[in-house]
A and B are shown apart, each in its own frame.
Chain A
Amino acid sequence: MSDLSDLYQEVILDHSKNPRNKRAMENATRKAEGYNPLCGDRFTVYLRVEDGIVRDISFEGSGCAISTASASLMTEDLKGKPVEMAHDVFDRFHKLLTGDNSVNETAPEVGMGKLAVFGGVRRFPVRVKCATLPWHTMETAMQGEEERVSTE
């Protein structure tokens, strides 16, 4: 049970049931669609980037608890951050999930804020793609590519 409660932490369950910033964005400057054909998860991430700052970020779509919570927490975390910092957060988020902290000597959870709750996903390797799908989609949107990303 302990593994399971690591994966489905209160924050994750809360954000999967009541996702924040789940809406289309009329005045988005960039958007991208992400799809995982393995499980059918599908997300669209909208960004309004001005002066190198993520002024607004939102998402639409459907997926499992992990991917939905990840999308929701991602939008909360990145809103107001400079674009460069968003890349950095994703980088660290990825390391948190894959357990690779060779680059950073400190524990991967440190400084991650609420995103640290995804540390439990590390023990469920097949679910890592669920958590990273919204982030990959965000990265694609950042690059201004209008094409669809896929995690498979």
Chain B
Amino acid sequence: MKAHRHVAAAAERAGSRGAFDVEKVREDFPILKMRVRGKPLVYLDNAASTQKPHAVIDAYNVFYSGCYSNIHRGVYHLSEAATEAYEQARAKVQAFVGAARPEEIVFVRGTTEGINLVANSYGRKHLREGDEVVISWMEHHSNIVPWQMVCEQTGARLRVVPINDRGEFLMDEYEKILGPRTKIVAVGHVSNALGTVNPVKEIIARARRRNIPVLVDGAQAVAHEEVDVRDLDADFYVFSGHKLFGPTGVGVLYGKMELLDAMPPYQGGGDMIRSVTFEKTTYNDVPYRFEAGTPNIAGAIGLGAAIDYVTGLGMDAISAYERSVFDYASDALQSLPGLRLVGTARERVSVLSFVLDGIHPHDVGTILDQDGIAVRTGHHCAQPVMERFGVPATARASLALYNTVDEVDALVKGIDRVREVFA
């Protein structure tokens, strides 16, 4: 009962924000009208992927119906139009992350490819035997494995910054790990398994004093708060379009021009060259040097539409609204007996990972699904985090701008039902 009073008070708080009309926002996402097993869909797996607004879906239609051709090739009208649309999308990304120049934006398949690109191109060029790559304990596998692979190839060593019991990055340990052999730091902005917001500005500043470049995995950050790569002073910043209400198969690698410019290509092919003879090939300029082959043109344009959509709503307004729903959800879940939140960092966003006493997350997920509630269960591609917290898996609810306090209530009710089944 106490929980319910608390819930009501928080709901009032959340509803009092006039600037952000969540009901109107929900109208923009056609899939949210869907019913699952007769119940309204409650989509709480936004850390895995986000749903798409009409603006993004329509962008595909417009592009393929009236503007489509390959880019950077033809002298004809359509090719010019497609090239312009693609390069406009690059400019939108540049403005969105605060990059100095559009050339610093490389379109990739997603965060994973962005990290692989840097690990292979920058990593293989600079890493020697005995050198060190520093990551954190809470990284997604995609910010672990590419570095392990390049370490294997070069003889470099992976060093891991530990986290505390709340799931927070340990700055003192980081300071101790940084040293003359550290050649690059790669760290998540927001943990996909714990929701922890890492102090990346401070992490970067400490590396900067030693002239060590830092790659930030922003996959879980960009949909929730404003990112300014120059304010952060990030050397590389990567994210995926599909976690920002955009299409799958497109993502962004931001890199400082002087770094990108000195990096060798990652893949060879068309569009990344200036001239090719069988004796010698000279490479194209940044960013084209890193965009071999026909890129995901429609995807980039769809991502541009997604960026227009969120900036139209205002990242500040989105953050403030999400904060109110997140705080409400965090309090509501923590008030449930037998529920343990995994990840209780002071700075968190979107992600609520939890375990229920005596009930496996997989069973939680199946039972919630019967109520139309979509949560993720498993290790969330962060097995070292699971091991750190002594759980094989968690259930994870992750919020985005269209989630409501009513949906949090549905989750709470669903969890009650899980416990009834296992009573």
Contacts and interface: CB of A to CB of B under 8 A. Distances in A.
Contacts of B126: none
Contacts of A13: 421-422
B230 interface: no
Contacts of B360: 39, 63-65, 68
A38 B378 contact: yes
Interface in B355-400: 358-363, 366-367, 370, 377-379, 386, 392-393
A84 B366 CA distance: 34
B363 A40 contact: no
Given A4-B367, A64-B362, A39 B421 contact: no
A124 B368 CA distance: 13
A124 B366 contact: yes
A139 interface: no
A80 B379 CA distance: 38
A62 interface: yes
Nearest to B358: A17
A65 B363 contact: yes
B366 A7 contact: yes
A39 B422 contact: no
A45 interface: no
A124 B395 CA distance: 18
A39 B366 contact: no
A58 to B, nearest CB: 20
Nearest to A8: B421
The interface centre, meaning the residue of B363, B378, B393 with most chain A CB atoms within 10 A of its CB, is: B363
B367 A64 contact: no
Contact of B370 (A4, A42, A64): A4
A138 interface: no
Contacts of B393: 39-40
A127 interface: yes
Interface residues on A, range: 20 to 34
Contacts of B366: 7, 124, 126-127
A13 to B, nearest CB: 7
B392 A42 contact: yes
Interface string B335-363: 00000000000000000000000111111
B392 A62 contact: yes
B274 to A, nearest CB: 44
A66 B386 CA distance: 21
A107 B360 CA distance: 31
A139 to B, nearest CB: 22
A40 B421 contact: no
A131 to B, nearest CB: 11
Interface in A12-37: 13, 17, 37
Contacts of A66: 362-363
B362 A39 contact: yes
Contacts of A39: 360-362, 377-378, 392-393
A1 B367 CA distance: 9
Contacts of A8: 363, 367, 421-422
Contacts of A63: 360
Interface of B: 358-363, 366-367, 370, 377-379, 386, 392-393, 421-422
Interface of A: 1, 3-4, 7-8, 13, 17, 37-42, 62-66, 68, 124, 126-127, 130
18 contacts: A3-B370, A8-B363, A8-B422, A13-B422, A38-B378, A39-B360, A39-B392, A40-B379, A40-B392, A40-B393, A41-B362, A41-B392, A64-B361, A65-B359, A66-B362, A66-B363, A127-B366, A130-B362
